[in-house]
Structure 1
Amino acid sequence: MSALPSSRTLNAYFLITWLVALVQLFSQQGASDYVSPAVSGWTLAATLSYAFMYLLPSVAIGHGLRWLLAGRKAFRRGPAILAAAAIVLTGFTQVLLFADCVIHKMYGFHVNGFVVNLVLSGGGIASLGVSHSAEMTAGAIALALVALQAAAWVWVLRRGAGDGAWRLRGAWAMALFLALTTGERIAYAYSEMSNYQPILFASEHFPLYQPLTFRNFAQKLGFKVDQATARSLHELEGSLSYPQRPLRVTPPDKPMNIVWLVAESLRFDMLDPKIMPNLWGLSNDAVRLEKHFSGSNTTQMGVFSMFYGLYGNYWFPMLAARQAPVLMEVLRQQNYQFSLNTSQRFTYPAFDKTVFAGMRTEDLHSLEGGAPAWRRDARNIDVLIDFIDRRDPARPFMTYMFFESTHANYDYPPEAEIFTPVLQEFNYRTGDFRAQIGQIKNRYINAAHHVDSQIGRMIDHLKKRGLLDNTIVIVLGDHGEEFMERSRWGHGAEFNRFQTSTPGVIHVPGRAPRVVTGISSHLDIPATLMPLLGVQNPPEDYSLGHDLLAPDFHREYAVAADWNRLAYIGDDFRVTFPVNAIGAAHNQASDGDDRPLAHADEAIASIRSAMMEIMANLARFSRHRG
């Protein structure tokens, strides 16, 4: 009967496994990871420590199993069980690292919950657009990695661990690991605080990288935190490909003005003749979108998606690059005048560094705090009307307004109260919201009625000045709002229709009124506006949307995102996927009426082609293509 290998022999095996993992991590790195001594040192420390971190489960289980088997002297199969466990665990780790490398090279992101769900729902690697021969090659490499681990096990056992070369001290190894990981994390946190981009971008090459930041803590301690604009991703990594191709633009002879109105948390069923009569009236002379979805259940990504026409996940590279949407760039190039107003602020979320990056400070007008939200909304409409009256009539103009009244606590003036009873004392701490939800919703409806009155003021002024016939008017919500129709209150928690669907009204001069009863998305807004500005490129060059004015407009599904998830929204199913690897199996599925499904397998299987399309789109504009 062969004896169990010693702890030192086991450590020797894990050392070889760690070296193989290092090779795989180094294969994902490039010259940008070693542009300076500081970046080189950080990359090396992170590579050494993360290669060990990925193996920690195998190390812990291997040593734990050895300890258990060592107490069973008569158990003959102990060595074989330990060998099988060590080889399978480490082999699986190596295969995962290899698969991550392949996915990262193909799509520009690491293995995440979306990828896992796509593969496990049938079709395997072929679902990712890989040919059969490539699939066979990948399988052969995976088998080779497992075989390499088996060979390493055999070699270590034959070599033995008695000589000094294998006398590995676990305490020293752990101390080295802690020193490396502590150093790289502190360096990352400092880089994030000081906006040192090379290290921030280098971290993106490590799957499951867990950043440490202390920007807010450093500010409280009095340290200077660099708020300078980050350099473009084009300069640092060449990973942003937006737009895909240079725009070909023939400006119209008579450019139209644009009035863009967005209301906080304004959900689809507020577009009602009683609640919002002014918007309803406008919608009868416009394109009315009856099943319209935001690109998110949050303000940040909802507003982002309507200006960029991209999934909310693109917020992060656009913010890092301080890249404005091409729509706004085209407007600037065509000498538009701007008045951009909000009853909240432009700095959080950081719309001043994304949607409105590069705009003149004097064109950004925010009113936050102080007066009630309904009064700030009314004041902002005053400012916009004044801007329209004082503008240069020889140049086109673009105005943007973000209404805050429909955000909890749902503020409105007395004359806007059309639904009663309402909850008078709105206290988050003491309220019984389940019992009071009807009264809370009435407050929300009254706030929407007030927002409608301000929209009406704007429309009436455009008519009075004879401008409506030459002005595109867009009215949207940033996202929806739920009042426990599906067990939640508010937004940001789920991707059901109540939290993601908003009114969609687009008035385009010269276009016949039309009602779109199928699915539409915030992603479609840039693809609709850009042709009206003379952009000749097809929408796929700069967005993931479609032209709502096209006679053949049709969308099979919408996509919404938040910080950690992505949602497919179709007529028959809603499926939510995590976009990180942790919790990959915890996807949620519901039917077309947002009722939970017991098993998501059927829904996932039915949307396979959409999943493949969504995954390709996740990185389409974040890396250069040949």
Structure 2
Amino acid sequence: FFKTTAKVNASVVATLILGFISCQLIYGIGFAKQNPEITQVRQVLPLIRPLRFNKLLVKLGIVTPEEIYSVSLPGKKAKMNYPLSELNCKGGSGYNIVFLFVDALRYDMVTKEIMPNVHEFSKNSVVFKNHYSGGINTRHGIFTLFTGIPGNYWDTSLQTKSGSALIKALQARDYEIGIFTGAPITMPEFNQTVFATIADPRLESQGKDSIERDENAIKDFEAWLTSIPKNKKFFSFVFLDNVHAAVFPEDKENTVFKPYWKTVNQLELNNDFDPLPYLNRYKNSVHYADKQLGRILKNLRDHIDLLKTIIVISSDHGEEFNDNKQNYWGHNGNFTKYQAQVPFIVKWPGKGNVEIEYATSMLDVVPTILPEVLGCSNPVSDYSVGENLFSPSKDREYRYVSNYSKDAFIEKDRIVLINEVGLLNYLDENNRPSSNKEIPSYLKKVLEETSRFLK
């Protein structure tokens, strides 16, 4: 009897393991080949976390790079209805637009000591002091920046290659567009989402580490900038990656903050770990990124008309160093200001130097630029759930922030979470249980906003 039971148990375990491996293989190959019948499983089963192994599949010859990076539709009817109607864009200020973003840059880093170049730049800019990203990870932070819609649309946008309203409007106005990132735009798949309508975008940088790859992106940006025909309007997105990895040239010139953690070992992090050396390492990487931004700003001053150019300096998300003593390090862990709030500095011709204290969001960028700069006459509700950065409603109740498995609504003194199975959870601003468990009155509006752009 025991031998028989053992054989049955072994058989069951073997079947489960084989089934698990088979499911992961089916999903991995289906994802690489962009098969919507397979990839939509993540929307149907939100708790599932299937594996991806694109590079291995290419190496084995099972799929081609063209299949993985293709932005053509897979032949099925699209599920996105975004924008709701064709963009009608003419007129507007027609300014050039430059986005300078640093991955994982905390909201409190723009100081004279840490970021002297950006701090100086901010003195003649509009500084948004209470600005939140649309995500606590790169995927949703950048997606919401370029689309103006919540991060929950990511999967459907990826399946249908729906692109972004900002890029589409720029293309409609015949802007020259340049994308220069230290990290590949294929991980996450920005080439198939926000940049899907750009033919042959720059996919990656060359270099052995993030410092070299950022340097390569900056050099390519500088060459591109000088190649733009005179009087040609342009948009550029430069995205530096070294702060995300907390790396910098560890020499005397660039080692400003001491003592710093020389070798990062995530396994050592716990609630009793002294965050100062790790934070100092991070600050050194930020200080180095500021040097790179200073170089870019000088190049812009030397080669373009700043009176006809909007420059935005910001980040995709923040970075936590156990600020709330709950053993959270990095990002994508909670929705407190340490991970969700980002610096947002805008040099906009005619706007002057103003510090704005009211709540703003990355979802507000598209509904500001499209009508004011690109002259799009569509109602904002056609392409975004955000508001104009310079004239938001006075009674703004929340800001929408998301990650891979949760949606959060950041209120003034509370964080309302909708978790993986749709249940509400109430936290205070420090990620601890909130005594206020009142169901938000805006949930009906949220449901409409998170489904408005689906067919």
Change (3 A) 1:391 1:617: same
Q: Which amino acid in 1 is paired with 2:236?
A: T
For 2:292 and 2:53, how far apart are their aligned partners in 1? 39
Change (3 A) 1:553 1:366: farther
What is the 5 A alignment of 1:94-105? none
Residue 326 of structure 1 and its aligned partner are, at CA, apart by 1.5
Residue 513 of structure 1 and its aligned partner are, at CA, apart by 2.5
User: Does 2:376 match 1:513?
Assistant: no
For 2:82 and 2:199, how far apart are their aligned partners in 1? 22
Residue 324 of structure 1 and its aligned partner are, at CA, apart by 1.1
Residue 212 of structure 1 and its aligned partner are, at CA, apart by 7.2
Residue 248 of structure 1 and its aligned partner are, at CA, apart by 1.9
User: Does 2:78 match 1:241?
Assistant: no
Q: Counterpart of 2:111?
A: 272
Query: Is the contact made by 1:262 and 1:475 (CA closer than 8 Å) also made in structure 2?
Result: yes
User: Does 2:437 match 1:596?
Assistant: no
Q: Counterpart of 1:622?
A: 454
Query: Is the contact made by 1:560 and 1:568 (CA closer than 8 Å) also made in structure 2?
Result: yes
Change (3 A) 1:204 1:340: closer
Q: Which runs of 5+ in 1 are unaligned?
A: 1-177
Query: Is the contact made by 1:192 and 1:215 (CA closer than 8 Å) also made in structure 2?
Result: no
Aligned-partner SS, 1:366:
coil
For 1:300 and 1:325, how far apart are their aligned partners in 2? 14
Change (3 A) 1:214 1:378: closer
For 1:430 and 1:209, how far apart are their aligned partners in 2? 29
Q: Which amino acid in 1 is paired with 2:158?
A: L
Query: Higher Cα Rg: structure 1 or 2?
Result: 1
Query: Is the contact made by 2:364 and 2:388 (CA closer than 8 Å) also made in structure 1?
Result: yes
Give the counterpart of 2:221 among 361, 373, 384. Answer: 384
What is the 5 A alignment of 1:85-96? none
Change (3 A) 1:603 1:273: farther
Aligned-partner SS, 1:453:
helix
For 1:313 and 1:588, how far apart are their aligned partners in 2? 18
Q: Counterpart of 1:374?
A: 211
Query: Is the contact made by 1:410 and 1:444 (CA closer than 8 Å) also made in structure 2?
Result: yes
Change (3 A) 1:274 1:213: closer
Query: Is the contact made by 1:251 and 1:334 (CA closer than 8 Å) also made in structure 2?
Result: no
For 1:495 and 1:405, how far apart are their aligned partners in 2? 23
Number of matched pairs: 429
Q: Counterpart of 2:232?
A: 395
For 1:397 and 1:237, how far apart are their aligned partners in 2? 33
Q: Counterpart of 2:445?
A: 613
Aligned-partner SS, 1:319:
helix
Q: Which amino acid in 2 is paired with 1:492?
A: N
Q: Which amino acid in 1 is paired with 2:262?
A: Q
1:523-570 superposed Cα distances (whole Å, 9 cap, x missing partner)? 111111111111112222101111112376763321111111000111
For 2:211 and 2:63, how far apart are their aligned partners in 1? 37
Q: Counterpart of 1:20?
A: none
Query: Is the contact made by 2:128 and 2:356 (CA closer than 8 Å) also made in structure 1?
Result: yes
Change (3 A) 1:380 1:553: farther
Change (3 A) 1:412 1:310: farther
Asked which structure has the greater RCO (Cα within 8 Å, sep 6+), the reply is: 2
Q: Counterpart of 1:364?
A: 202
Q: Counterpart of 1:419?
A: 257
Aligned-partner SS, 1:227:
helix
Query: Is the contact made by 1:195 and 1:228 (CA closer than 8 Å) also made in structure 2?
Result: no
Change (3 A) 1:591 1:270: same
1:289-322 superposed Cα distances (whole Å, 9 cap, x missing partner)? 1111111111111111111111111111110011
Query: Is the contact made by 2:414 and 2:434 (CA closer than 8 Å) also made in structure 1?
Result: no
Query: Is the contact made by 1:423 and 1:436 (CA closer than 8 Å) also made in structure 2?
Result: no
Q: Counterpart of 1:576?
A: 417
Aligned-partner SS, 1:568:
strand
Query: Is the contact made by 1:481 and 1:490 (CA closer than 8 Å) also made in structure 2?
Result: yes
Q: Counterpart of 1:450?
A: 288
Query: Is the contact made by 1:230 and 1:320 (CA closer than 8 Å) also made in structure 2?
Result: no
User: Does 2:329 match 1:489?
Assistant: yes
Residue 219 of structure 1 and its aligned partner are, at CA, apart by 6.2
For 2:376 and 2:250, how far apart are their aligned partners in 1? 43
Give the counterpart of 2:298 among 452, 460, 469. Answer: 460
What is the 5 A alignment of 1:287-306? 287-306=126-145
Q: TM-score, structure 1 length as denominator?
A: 0.62
Q: Counterpart of 1:471?
A: 309
Give the counterpart of 1:440 among 278, 294, 308. Answer: 278
User: Does 2:169 match 1:330?
Assistant: yes
Residue 425 of structure 1 and its aligned partner are, at CA, apart by 2.4
User: Does 2:339 match 1:499?
Assistant: yes
For 1:380 and 1:219, how far apart are their aligned partners in 2? 25
Q: Which runs of 5+ in 2 are unaligned?
A: 1-15
For 1:356 and 1:205, how far apart are their aligned partners in 2? 22
Q: TM-score, structure 2 length as denominator?
A: 0.84
Q: Which amino acid in 1 is paired with 2:451?
A: A
1:419-456 superposed Cα distances (whole Å, 9 cap, x missing partner)? 21111222345677843421110111121111112222
Structure (1 or 2) with the greater helix fraction: 1
For 2:318 and 2:428, how far apart are their aligned partners in 1? 19
Aligned-partner SS, 2:222:
helix
Query: Is the contact made by 1:412 and 1:446 (CA closer than 8 Å) also made in structure 2?
Result: no
For 2:60 and 2:226, how far apart are their aligned partners in 1? 48
For 1:537 and 1:294, how far apart are their aligned partners in 2? 24
Residue 275 of structure 1 and its aligned partner are, at CA, apart by 1.4
For 1:619 and 1:551, how far apart are their aligned partners in 2? 22
1:12-37 superposed Cα distances (whole Å, 9 cap, x missing partner)? xxxxxxxxxxxxxxxxxxxxxxxxxx
Residue 383 of structure 1 and its aligned partner are, at CA, apart by 2.7
Change (3 A) 1:335 1:423: same
Q: Which amino acid in 1 is paired with 2:307?
A: D
Residue 465 of structure 1 and its aligned partner are, at CA, apart by 3.3
Give the counterpart of 2:403 among 547, 552, 562. Answer: 562
Change (3 A) 1:404 1:334: same
Query: Is the contact made by 2:127 and 2:356 (CA closer than 8 Å) also made in structure 1?
Result: yes
Q: Which amino acid in 1 is paired with 2:121?
A: L
1:386-420 superposed Cα distances (whole Å, 9 cap, x missing partner)? 32222111211111111112113332453233321
Change (3 A) 1:386 1:433: farther
